[in-house]
Amino acid sequence: MAPPAGRFSPWRNLAIFAGVVVILYSLVFFTSGGDATPKLGIDLQGGTRVTLTARTVDGRPPSRESLDQARQIIEQRVNGIGVNDAEVILDGTNLIITVPGANGDQARTLGQTAKLYFRTVISEEPAGPPVPVPGGQHPGTSAPKAPPALQQPPASSAESTPPAPPQPVAPQQVQVPPGDPTPSPVPPTPAATPTPTAPPIAPPSVGSAPADSADPQVAEQIRQARARLQSQDPAVQQPALAALNCAAPNPLRGNDDPNLPLVTCDQHHTAKYLLGPAFLSGEQVSTASSGPNQEGTGYEVRLRFKHQGEDVWAQYTASNVGKQAAFALDGEVVSAPVINGAIPPGQATSIVGSFTQAEAQNLANVLKYGSLPLSFQPSESETVSATLGLASLRAGLLAGVLGLAVVFVYCLFYYRALGVLTILSLALSGLIVYAVLVLLGRWIGFTLDLAGVAGFIVAIGITADSFVIFFERLKDEVRDGRTFRSAVPRAWVRARRTILSADAVSFLAAAVLYILAVGQVKGFAFTLGMSTLLDLVVVFLATHPLVAMASQSRLLSQPGLSGLGAAQRAGAEARSDLVTAGKGA
């Protein structure tokens, strides 16, 4: 038995719906700068797609566990750098990074292995022929600038010690940030004191695959590169240093043995180095952060070591004053400062150089989130144009508009006033969906792509089905002899059960598809499930109240306008036939 119509207040439900819309659009326009546009995926706004191919030391295929770990670390780097809407997926033994928008340069650096080793500089020389470096600078063939310095914190102004002669400022240096506490200095150890030795550093890990699946070509390339660039024979080291071409790809990228010497270049390919074995590993880095250089221009990367690393670093800087220490990231020198004094334990060390803000932030994040278990070589890097996606979007929107137009014409012809309410309800549904899209893009980084647009188009049919169920149940009540006004509450009680059941099935199907699917199919499932939930909001808070208000209007309740005239006539004819049959009996 349906409840009396007087208990239902259409205005209350409409007021709740209006309040929801006001809250959503207040969040849209008055938060995060008021940008009222949804985030678009790579197929709609373009972007960059980078394919990373894993390489192991012995050429064996990498294990699934190491690939999953690498994917998780790269995702952490994406979040740390602030690259929104990036997607990192596994494709066999490759990792594919997709970044929409103008973050392509950052996407190309996300595959850094980030194996950091601290090595002693044995010798340094210019890289040779000019090689373009970032910023448009071209190194010449003249002698290199004086190496940067590793400095202690500036002395207090109250001290009477005369200032030291000015040191040349080089493009990169490592120093103690002025904001750090200054404990009592560690006295320099005499030069004769041997350099502290740390436990042997574990070499890069390799994949755990069967031996017969190893790639002999890759393994041989790495073996030859190590024999040439990591030889312990001085007769081999100097010719290798002289013949090193910094413009060529680094064959030992992320696969250098930390327990052997290393012949390598700096990251900008302006200098060549002969480095000693690593005395400290990047695994001893506790935290890393980036920010503006507090003593000059540019940006710096601050490092803090774990307890064991602090002791090794303090002893090394104390016993190697006047020598260079190289920070080698993935086999390339990031900075090679001269040690001017000891850095006591507990103080941060900063890498200061010609970093841009993005470069400093990227370096800090790859060090903070740890090294990848595998070394990766970018095998493909392409810029994806949005032209094809936008053309497909325009075609899809055109098809959607034409489909909606046909639905509107049919509803107006078949339901009349109720058809107008159908069009109005769909418009309200689109209004609330748009606001939710904008907010989800800000809060969880949701991006709208072509698959998501397809999900919305499918959801339009689900929303229209809810209206049809309600209206057809309403016609059944009118055929039974009830008026438009009295038929609405009874039809709603029966129709809402079917609407809830149908939407529940659609939402469960979307949820299962979202859990099992990958890539863009997830976007389709997400928008389909979200639209199904918003359909219930519109039907309960807008469509039902509007139909109830129409039933209370003398104008709209007229059979010729309401679209219920045929049902009323069919009901009257059925009742007349029953009366005639009863009289005949």
Print pLDDT tens along the chain (585 aa): 444 444 678 899 999 999 999 999 999 988 877 678 888 777 777 777 788 887 776 667 888 888 887 787 777 666 655 555 567 888 777 888 877 766 556 666 666 666 788 899 999 888 865 434 343 333 332 333 445 445 433 333 333 333 333 333 333 444 444 444 333 333 333 333 344 444 455 444 333 333 333 457 767 878 888 888 999 998 888 888 888 888 887 777 777 888 999 999 988 888 999 999 999 888 888 888 888 887 777 788 888 888 888 899 899 988 988 888 888 887 888 878 788 778 888 888 877 666 778 778 777 776 776 667 777 776 566 666 665 566 777 777 787 788 788 878 888 888 888 888 888 888 899 899 999 999 988 888 787 888 888 888 888 888 888 888 998 898 888 888 888 888 899 999 989 999 999 999 999 999 999 888 766 788 889 999 999 999 899 999 999 999 999 888 888 777 777 777 777 777 677 667 666 666 655
Between the alpha carbon of residue 182 and those of residues 152, 185, 344, the distances in Å are 9, 8, 9
Q: What is the C-alpha separation between 13 and 542, in angstroms, rounded?
A: 7
Whether residue 222 contacts residue 193, with contact meaning beta carbons closer than 8 Å, is answered with no
Strands 375-384 and 47-55: antiparallel
pLDDT of residue 122: 92
Phi-psi region of 243 (alpha: psi -120 to 50; beta: other; left: phi over 0): alpha
Domain 116-135+146-151+169-367: give its CATH architecture. Answer: 2-Layer Sandwich (3.30)
Residue 24: both structure tokens together = 């959503």
Residue labelled with tokens 């194996």: 115
Q: What is the C-alpha separation between 124 and 325, in angstroms, rounded?
A: 11
Task: Check residue 552 and report its DSSP letter.
Answer: T
Which CATH number applies to 45-109: 3.30.70.3220, 3.40.50.261, 3.40.1190.20, 3.50.30.40? 3.30.70.3220
CATH classification (class only), 5-40+386-584: mainly alpha
Task: Check the CA dihedral 95-98-103-104 and report its sign.
Answer: positive
Q: What is the C-alpha separation between 540 and 448, in angstroms, rounded?
A: 27
pLDDT of residue 503: 92
Q: What is the C-alpha separation between 357 and 337, in angstroms, rounded?
A: 21
DSSP string, 176-234: --TTS---PPPPPPPTTSPPP-PPPPPPPP-----GGG--HHHHHHHHHHHHHHS-S-H
Measured in whole angstroms, the distance separating CA 399 from the mean position of its chain's CA atoms is 31
Count of H helices and E strands in the chain? Answer: 16, 15
Spans of all domains in the chain: 5-40+386-584, 45-109, 116-135+146-151+169-367
pLDDT of residue 139: 33
DSSP string, 455-518: HHHHHHHHHHHHHHHHHHHHHHHHHTT--HHHHHHHHHHHHHHHHHHHHHHHHHHHHHHHHH--
Q: What is the C-alpha separation between 327 and 340, in angstroms, rounded?
A: 16
**pTM higher than the cut 0.85:** no
SS3 77: helix
pLDDT of residue 211: 31
pLDDT of residue 422: 86
pLDDT of residue 206: 34
Q: What is the C-alpha separation between 300 and 515, in angstroms, rounded?
A: 42
